[in-house]
Structure 1
């Protein structure tokens, strides 16, 4: 397994041209590119440019509309439902968060449900948009049905990530960005490329037995909820995943549960959908609606400092603030470049050759 380093500008140019080839406008191609590159910069390699082939496959199957008419279809002062018109979730989601922020600027909070969308990249990207406005950002989405509920062996939920982002003053924002499954599917994909086993507790086989096979999903197995099994709190991960599914899809009119359209190539959409596309849910809370923003951010700094100084079990360990590793990755990779595994580079170059785009 070898890694090749690329500059941020090189990957941005390459990714932009792929989206342009798909028919995206300049604005949409730049935005979609920004979402993917931000994932790579933040060390979330499973949701960066390695995902490009997946978006192209969905576009080739006419499941992604690269010229969508994204619009509000239901609205009150502080809430709205948006129809993404089958557009790239990488474009639909920022549109929706901007609407949430605009409502929060006027009324203190904004809450947006989205239907008829697709995979939206990392949840943190969208939640951070609110942080830039001294707001608390909330972002979540349902996803391909790959996760079995506690006591089940049937795929019913997606990895259904949720993100809560809080502004601070001297410190970087606190960002709780996580899948509600024991592991994101992208981590299995990384293990597959590296030809490695995965930790026990991530997946089960078709019979519901524990497995360390990174390709188990292709063989009919399923991901486990956060907590892995009933003895380690999987019902809590199941409950969180269900919450994301209901807010993102049942509320918006998107497909939910086992009807959610898959991102992965080896699964086909349901022949009997119960809604439209994938669903997302966003929230923006103006800190000024609760206390002066600077006071809040100063106390966030105090919160962060106290937790960073918490006594550790071993001297060489440190308490990590949610979002801290991603911030450190971003500083490092902006300076030193973004490493891509050679398998991903080969995949991207094959994609470029097929589409007539200059290779990396």
Structure 2
């Protein structure tokens, strides 16, 4: 099923409002989710709506929470999301970090007592489109084992970096610090494809490729674990992915005053932490020089010799940009399982179901959810 992006935003807003979220916050959450779908990161798009609707209904997410300031300096601010939705708190945080970056050259915000905030790249791009560079990260529910370990201790801990290299299409890198997210394993299984060895381990720390057992084990917290970026052991740099995950955890946990590692979720809900660092290019060099040098760098990368069988060298974020342009024009494809769940949510919330748009040219449905 393929749907119009604005219709999907409206539907998502209505469902959130129906369970008690304010219209202002519902607009923000819907924009973050649909932006993920537009960019092809389907694992973090409206497929996550159930998580928020049920979280509010079950009392694990406060629908009308207000983000409060705990501490502030000219360049920094620490915020408390009050166990509310992660997206409104994160937009407030990145906007404050941007304002401080404009005023002082660099600004940073942290958020504690928050929930899932969607794709990290959304907030980094929000800054880059305003002419600032940004670094954004969040911790998450434990699914990843440390190098040489066999038990999930960290989340997939995504890290996003964006630069205002071009007003129309800023540079953005957005990726998990794990070798693969759980959502990708679920997609591979649905499509009848196999996963690679070295992506996950069983409770004994042995590499496994049994997707159903891995996914069920992760959900039930029965010892199965994903591995850090680089995979099993240190041979292919797994210790580097582990180090990056630890860096994100330190920013988002102890530094933000949030929960960390295996403690981020408790009986009273989430205690996730996020961080947002924004700075002025002009505080370090001229904007014109920076953009010219970055443009030359990208052109040299694109023009570099291609590996056998490859016809394109991509810059981080280009594939997502291309997908976004295509889906803005032809609609967002939703998988049958997602359509079915959205239909159930519509019934539960007494909201009109989504309507498909007419079929047109083929649409790339590749999930980049990592």
Is the 8 Å Cα contact of residues 74 and 104 (structure 2) preserved in structure 1?
Answer: yes
Measured against aligned partners, the alpha-carbon deviations of 1:291-314 in whole angstroms (never above 9, x if no partner) come to: 121221122111111111111123
Residues in 2 aligned to 1:21 and 1:192: alpha-carbon distance in whole angstroms: 33
> Is 2:6 the partner of 1:9?
yes
* 1:91-240 equivalences in 2 (<5 Å): 91-169=88-166, 172-194=169-191, 196-215=193-212, 216-219=214-217, 220=222, 221-230=224-233, 231-240=235-244
Deviation at 1:83, TM superposition (A): 0.3
Task: Identify the residue that residue 260 of structure 2 maps to in structure 1.
Answer: 256
Contiguous gaps of at least 5 residues in structure 2: 355-370
TM-score, structure 1 normalization = 0.92
**1:315–1:193 CA distance, 2 compared to 1 (3 A):** closer
Measured against aligned partners, the alpha-carbon deviations of 1:144-183 in whole angstroms (never above 9, x if no partner) come to: 0110101111110000000000111377222111000011
In terms of mean alpha carbon deviation, does 227-236 or 39-48 score higher? 227-236
Deviation at 1:41, TM superposition (A): 0.3
Residues in 2 aligned to 1:201 and 1:333: alpha-carbon distance in whole angstroms: 33
Contiguous gaps of at least 5 residues in structure 1: 262-268
Residues in 2 aligned to 1:62 and 1:245: alpha-carbon distance in whole angstroms: 26
Task: Identify the residue that residue 265 of structure 1 maps to in structure 2.
Answer: none
Deviation at 1:209, TM superposition (A): 1.9
**1:236–1:174 CA distance, 2 compared to 1 (3 A):** same
Residues in 1 aligned to 2:65 and 2:186: alpha-carbon distance in whole angstroms: 29
Deviation at 1:213, TM superposition (A): 2.7
Aligned residues: 347
Match for residue 303 of structure 1 among 285, 297, 301: 297
Q: Secondary structure at the match of 1:211?
A: coil
Task: Identify the residue that residue 325 of structure 2 maps to in structure 1.
Answer: 331
Match for residue 62 of structure 1 among 50, 59, 63: 59
Is the 8 Å Cα contact of residues 129 and 170 (structure 2) preserved in structure 1?
Answer: no
Measured against aligned partners, the alpha-carbon deviations of 1:205-245 in whole angstroms (never above 9, x if no partner) come to: 22222222333132221111111111211111110001001
Q: Secondary structure at the match of 1:284?
A: strand
Is the 8 Å Cα contact of residues 309 and 319 (structure 1) preserved in structure 2?
Answer: yes
Task: Identify the residue that residue 86 of structure 1 maps to in structure 2.
Answer: 83
In terms of mean alpha carbon deviation, does 21-30 or 35-44 score higher? 21-30
Residues in 1 aligned to 2:192 and 2:337: alpha-carbon distance in whole angstroms: 11
Residues in 1 aligned to 2:166 and 2:25: alpha-carbon distance in whole angstroms: 31
Residues in 2 aligned to 1:55 and 1:192: alpha-carbon distance in whole angstroms: 25
Task: Identify the residue that residue 321 of structure 1 maps to in structure 2.
Answer: 315
Residues in 2 aligned to 1:208 and 1:57: alpha-carbon distance in whole angstroms: 33
Measured against aligned partners, the alpha-carbon deviations of 1:19-66 in whole angstroms (never above 9, x if no partner) come to: 111212211111110000000000000000001111122212212111
Match for residue 337 of structure 2 among 339, 343, 347: 343
Task: Identify the residue that residue 251 of structure 2 maps to in structure 1.
Answer: 247
TM-score, structure 2 normalization = 0.90
